[in-house]
Each structure stands twice: as structure tokens, then as C-alpha cells.
Structure 1
């Protein structure tokens, strides 16, 4: 079976500095990955490249088995890949409106949006936040709203940048618990993080950035 996304010879330079020099990157369907590396190793840059927010040189890119180019970023990838920032931006409307935003932009009928938003609210366990002003939510609450906002778009790949950073114990656990459910729905997930509990999740494969190159570790087996 073809990988969801495969890239050969990905290179990224800043001025004369070679930040990334990745020979092969292959992302399987319905697989979770943690992307680790020291600060400044290029984790966020790689995530932004995969999301189409930064350019890079590549020898070959395939998405769903079809050859594509990352520049300009292809529509098929833009529709299928969602990036969730470490500090998600919340609109000061309502939680439901925040979750519905991407569907509204895509022109999805309002009755279908309402159904999808209700399902996402239940999935993320945030029904009690329905009437809260989003800009005043805690970090963990914002992260769950952002994950719900990403999930309603039915992405094939989610890119999560430090999804549990600066969250307290209970909030961390709530966010971590959502990750396996995304994979169970057939989605692939890449998490740039230092969180040992995310790194240790069963079935997760570790990608480690070191000196611009990528080391692929074994998949975590269930205990």
C-alpha cells in the first residue's frame, strides 16, 4: 500500500545554514508519529513545510500515491492536511462558531455544519464550554476546541505542534486521550513535542531530528 505522504531529499536552508537535510520521510495511513529533537533542530519548520506554510527543496513528493510538488502547495494536500498551532487562535464569537469556521469557509451547508459541530463537541468533551467566550478559555480547553475544529474538516493528516505544552495534569490527560481516537478513525497524526507521555503512547512511531537529519525509531508496542 502506498504511503499517505512520502518525500525524498527534503532540504531547507536559512541563509547559508542547512537546517534540514532529510533523505526520506514516509507517513503511513492511520499512524501516529512524534517528532522530537532539541530546540532549534527544525521541528516546527518541518511541520510548517508539511502544512504548506514554508517552502523547501525536494527531489520527489507523493501524496496518496500521486506525484505532487510542494511549491505551489497542492490543493489536494491543503484539503487533507490540518495544522494545529501550539497556541491556537480563538475567535471571540462562540465555541461552536470556532469549530465551524473551516466548514463555513468551505461552503458546507449550515445543517451539515451543525451536525458535525455537535459531534465534534461531544468527541472533545467540551459541551460544558458551549456558552463560554473562547478567548477566555484555559490552554487545555483551547487545545481541545482547536482539535475539534481540525477534526470536523475530516483531515487525512493532522500536524500538532506541542499539543500538550504548558498544560496542567488533567488538561494534558484530556488532550492525550484524544490522539488514539483520531488514529482509530483512520487519520495520521504527527506531533512535534517533548511530552514523554505522548512519546510513549502505544502504536506511536518516533521521528527524531538531529543535525538536520531524521532518525526513525521503532513503533511503541502495547504493554
Structure 2
């Protein structure tokens, strides 16, 4: 019985999170209350508070789902014993770009990040967490590119730090432009090709490390 109760609780939690994504997409975070989410999910407000302390807690749980989905590929790309760092990074980005198109949760989380008109203390919590995550990702990319140099995928004269800035900036710009003008950017198909083009430059040794 206890096991069934736990499974039911997990199912209720998933239902609430799915409902939240739908309501946020229609009304925005600032204009959505926990009561709205409870109505969408077909549960009581008490059920909401059983699983989440407040709206910020719920948003953090949604963001955590996105982060955890990509965690295995992210970790694999950064392993020092990975024989194909660039290949794993390419795989990560291809999966990420496809998810941007196919996954309503991922779309909504990044819409919150890029929508300057939907600011509240709840969304600011997510933005702050995303800033920290981006810093971690920046450092992780340095590791990946450094390993690619060690593996001979990139020439030894390659400027790892400048290469990281280049890749980091282009990926962020690609995502931002897709959200603002999706008709101009086919992120599912063009995104991996953009990354592949960057890697071709890297394999050619660009950018070159400055001689001091």
C-alpha cells in the first residue's frame, strides 16, 4: 500500500508540473497563481503545497528537469578520458536543439529566461540560477576544448579560452534569435550545422593562441 501511495504522489507531482507548463505558456509566470495551476491539474491547492512550497519552488523543479535531462551527455563530454570530446559535444548540442523544438517544458523554461516582459521575483530566481549554470557551462566548455587539444582533435596552438568565448556566444545567440524570430532560424536542422562549422574552424587551429 505504501508503495502505491508513493507512486500516486509522484504521479500527482508530474501532473502538477505538466499543468504548470501549460498555464505558464498561456498566461505567463507573473499572471499565474498556484490556484490556476491546481485547477489545470485537477487537484486541490493543498496538493500543490504538499509538493511545492511556492511558485518559485515549482519553477526550480521544472528547471531541474531540463538540467537533469542533459546531465549525462554534459558530463560525458567533459570527462578527461573521453576519446571524442568534440563528438560528444556535437551530440549534446544536437539533442539540445531538437529538444528546443519538441519539448514544451524546455521551450517554456527558455521563454521565461528570454521574456523581459514577464519579470517577477519568481522568474528572477530562475534567471539567477541560469546565470550560475551558464558559468558552470562556460568552465565545462573550456575543459572539453582543452581535452580536444590533448586528443589531437584541435591543433596545439589553439586558444582554448577564446574558442570557449566564441562557441559560448554563438550558441547563446542562436538560441536567443530562435526564440525572438523562429521563422528565421531552423534551430533543429541549422543548429547542429552551425556547431559543425565552428568545429571545422577549431580543427583548422582558429582562433590561434596569442604569442606573448
Q: TM-score, normalised by structure 1?
A: 0.26
Larger Rg belongs to: 2
Q: Which has the higher contact order (CA 8 A, sep 6+)?
A: 1
Q: TM-score, normalised by structure 2?
A: 0.26
Greater share of residues in strand: 1
Greater share of residues in helix: 2
